[in-house]
């Protein structure tokens, strides 16, 4: 890190989503100094850059100073080309997003996948605090993940570290083959089995009724057998997918995030369901809900400047 890139005691985090942009300013101790939100300009790359810059300016004006800038984004920055890749906000793909924001704001910027930011937030001062290795999982409209070891993100040689949502469902049952088509063009990606829309698809396929994930959960709470079976299948598939990650990364703790992290039964059922698949004589895995909830992603973006030189 050059002397011109030293972070200040104020850290600005931006979480760029498909429909909204969240911003936060953190003090040196992690206390919130300011928070703002704005709408994401749909499909307009230049307007997205401008909206981010305006949000940063507003946060700094409210906080009374300039700060380091970290951005959580859908997809990631390619280590080879320096361009945005794999973003479901497709107007970012193939663009020099990192360089363009830095040029527009006139200061160095650090970018990371939004799931990586979630994992970093929970590792620094969240549910994974004090653990050497953390796997942060996003379970919402999509499925993503981030790896943190010794306080540092593991982005990987290609910037796709922790991208388990596009690995195939492991140990598939006969009725799970070949699996649904994913938006990425492959079949049976974890995202097609464990994200919120995947729960809706599975329930419709088996029970013959179309319900949102929230409605399925409510029906299960009321004792509806079909909804209970859908949650059972979801937990079983999620357990297999997480066990695969454990066999590769072996984290001390897994922290769940996204809307489905609110399913309380996952924290007791998943460790039991994972046991047969974890290749160890100590197969129990600690799984926790997030400490910072919906703000973990934007907090993690701010903490990118606490993540050592990258």
pLDDT, one tens digit per residue, over 216-265 is 999 999 999 999 999 999 999 999 999 999 999 999 999 999 999 999 99
Say how far apart CA 246 and CA 134 lie, in whole Å: 10
Say how far apart CA 225 and CA 274 lie, in whole Å: 23
Mean pLDDT, range 159-173, rounded to an integer? 94
For the chain, the average pLDDT equals: 92
pLDDT for residue 158: 84
Sign, CA dihedral 279-282-284-287, equals negative
The DSSP element (H or E) to which 84 belongs, if any, is strand 84-85
Asked if the model's pLDDT at residue 300 lies above 90, the reply is: yes
Domain 3-113+295-306: top CATH class: alpha beta
Task: Flag the least confident range among 135-144, 175-184, 298-307.
Answer: 298-307
* CATH 3.30.420.40 holds for 127-290: yes
Asked if the model's pLDDT at residue 2 lies above 70, the reply is: no
Asked if the model's pLDDT at residue 169 lies above 80, the reply is: yes
Asked if the model's pLDDT at residue 5 lies above 70, the reply is: no
Mean pLDDT, range 289-306, rounded to an integer? 91
Report the share of the chain in percent with pLDDT over 90.
83
Q: Where in the chain is the domain with CATH 3.30.420.40?
A: 3-113+295-306, 127-290
Q: How is 174-233 classified by DSSP, letter by letter?
A: GGGSS-PBPTTS-BSBTHHHHSHHHHHHHHHHHHS----HHHHHHHHHTT-HHHHHHHHH
**Measured in whole angstroms, how far is the alpha carbon of residue 135 from the centre of its chain?**
10
Mean pLDDT, range 189-198, rounded to an integer? 96
Q: Are strands 109-113 and 133-139 parallel, antiparallel or unpaired?
A: unpaired
């Amino acid at each position: 890190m050059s002397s011109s890139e030293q972070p200040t005691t104020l850290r600005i985090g931006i979480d760029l989503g498909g429909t909204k942009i969240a911003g936060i300013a953190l003090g040196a101790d992690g206390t919130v100094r300011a928070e703002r939100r704005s709408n994401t300009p749909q499909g307009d790359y230049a307007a997205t850059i401008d909206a981010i810059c305006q949000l940063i300016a507003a946060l700094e004006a409210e906080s009374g100073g300039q700060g380091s800038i970290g951005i959580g984004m859908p997809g990631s920055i390619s280590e080879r080309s320096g361009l945005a890749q794999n973003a479901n906000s497709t107007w970012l793909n193939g663009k020099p997003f990192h360089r363009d924001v830095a040029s527009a704001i006139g200061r160095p910027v650090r970018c990371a996948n939004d799931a990586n930011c979630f994992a970093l937030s929970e590792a620094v001062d969240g549910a994974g605090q004090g653990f050497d290795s953390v796997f942060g999982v996003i379970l919402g409209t999509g499925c993503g993940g981030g790896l943190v070891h010794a306080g540092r993100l593991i982005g990987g040689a290609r910037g796709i570290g922790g991208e388990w949502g596009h690995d195939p469902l492991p140990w598939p049952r006969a009725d799970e083959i070949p699996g649904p088509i994913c938006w990425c063009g492959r079949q049976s990606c974890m995202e097609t089995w464990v994200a919120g829309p995947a729960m809706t698809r599975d329930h419709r396929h088996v029970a013959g009724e179309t319900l949102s994930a929230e409605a399925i959960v409510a029906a299960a709470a009321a004792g509806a057998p079909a909804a209970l079976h859908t949650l059972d299948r979801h937990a079983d598939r999620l357990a297999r997918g997480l066990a695969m990650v454990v066999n590769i990364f072996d984290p001390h703790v897994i922290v769940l995030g996204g809307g489905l992290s609110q399913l309380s039964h996952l924290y007791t059922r998943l460790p039991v369901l994972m046991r047969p698949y974890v290749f160890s004589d100590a197969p129990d895995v600690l799984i926790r809900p997030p400490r910072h909830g919906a703000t973990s992603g934007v907090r993690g973006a701010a903490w990118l400047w606490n993540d050592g030189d990258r």
